[in-house]
């Protein structure tokens, strides 16, 4: 169990709803859910395997204090940010943001599921785009394909070979970006300093300083 997780367990004792309200982005909306299930029926990922709990159930589990079941769930990580639940919710609950917020919090305190592919994508994307201020698409794709080792990476890259070659031919994938070329912001130093400060302020505001 991570230190941060212990720290939060001690702080909130058995009040998981309060923990989510204070720690997860938009978490203070959770108590507004009236369990109608429109969000669950609206989610495009609802029709595929890997769906532990639709949002409506996540909200009820939070209120029931099922901390481990919620934080370890794969559900939030299935969100495609389509905002269908968000616009259809009769109580106007910003469900998409709450799903992101719970996922982010679970990750921050070391409780997200192991080897979660969308978590890995989130880390890779943010690190990629903040490194030079703009996304390097080739390096992004490489990091994603090779996350499970060289052999697996080559297999995935081979499967996508036709599509990748099509993109290169169409001038929409620049192999030179792999060598560290690609587009950059001029004030990278300023961006890094600004983001370090933002991270520090957020940790302080949420009482997550180690």
- Contact call for residue 87 and another protein (CB under 8 A): yes
Residue selected from 16, 29, 59, 107 as contacting another protein according to rule CB under 8 A:
107
What HEC string does the chain produce?
Answer: CCHHHHHHHHHHCCCHHHHHHHHCCCHHHHHHCCCCCHHHHHCHHHHCCCCCCCHHHHHHHHHCCCHHHHHCCCHHHHCCCCCHHHHHCCCCCCHHHHHHHHHHHHHHCCCCCCCCHHHHHHHHHHHHHHHHCCCCHHHHHHHHHHHHCHHHHHHHHHHCHHHHHHHHHCCCCCHHHHHCCCCCCCCHHHHHHHHHHHHHHHHHHCCCCC
- Contact call for residue 149 and another protein (CB under 8 A): no
- Contact call for residue 142 and another protein (CB under 8 A): no
Residues from 176 through 205 that contact another protein (CB under 8 A): 176-177, 182-183, 185-187, 190-191, 193-199, 201-202, 205
Residue selected from 9, 40, 84, 142 as contacting another protein according to rule CB under 8 A:
84
Residues from 117 through 136 that contact another protein (CB under 8 A): 117-123, 125-127, 129-130, 133-135
- Contact call for residue 162 and another protein (CB under 8 A): yes
Nearest approach in angstroms of CB 28 to another protein is 12
* Token pair for 175: 């192999």
- Contact call for residue 154 and another protein (CB under 8 A): no
Residues from 18 through 37 that contact another protein (CB under 8 A): 25
Of 6-14, 27-35, 54-62, 111-119: span binding another protein (CB under 8 A): 111-119
Q: Which residues contact 21 (CB under 8 A, 6 or more apart)?
A: 27, 28, 30, 31
Residue selected from 163, 180, 207, 209 as contacting another protein according to rule CB under 8 A:
163
- Contact call for residue 53 and another protein (CB under 8 A): no
Nearer to another protein, 63 or 120 (CB): 120
Nearer to another protein, 60 or 144 (CB): 144
């Amino acid at each position: 169990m991570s230190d941060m997780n212990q720290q939060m367990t001690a702080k909130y004792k058995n009040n998981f709803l309060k923990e989510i309200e204070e720690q997860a982005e938009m978490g203070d909306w959770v108590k507004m859910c009236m369990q109608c299930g429109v969000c669950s029926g609206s989610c495009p990922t609802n029709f595929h395997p890997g769906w532990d709990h639709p949002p409506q159930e996540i909200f009820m589990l939070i209120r029931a204090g099922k901390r481990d079941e919620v934080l370890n769930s794969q559900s939030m990580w299935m969100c495609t940010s389509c905002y269908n639940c968000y616009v259809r919710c009769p109580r106007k609950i910003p469900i998409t943001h709450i799903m992101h917020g719970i996922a982010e919090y679970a990750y921050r305190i070391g409780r997200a599921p192991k080897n979660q592919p969308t978590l890995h994508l989130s880390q890779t994307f943010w690190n990629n785009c903040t490194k030079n201020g703009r996304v390097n698409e080739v390096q992004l794709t490489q990091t994603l394909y090779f996350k499970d080792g060289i052999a697996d990476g080559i297999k995935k890259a081979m499967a996508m070979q036709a599509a990748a070659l099509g993109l290169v031919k169409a001038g929409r994938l620049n192999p030179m970006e792999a060598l560290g070329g690609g587009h950059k912001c001029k004030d990278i130093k300023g961006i890094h300093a600004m983001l370090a400060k933002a991270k520090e302020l957020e940790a302080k505001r949420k009482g997550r300083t180690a």
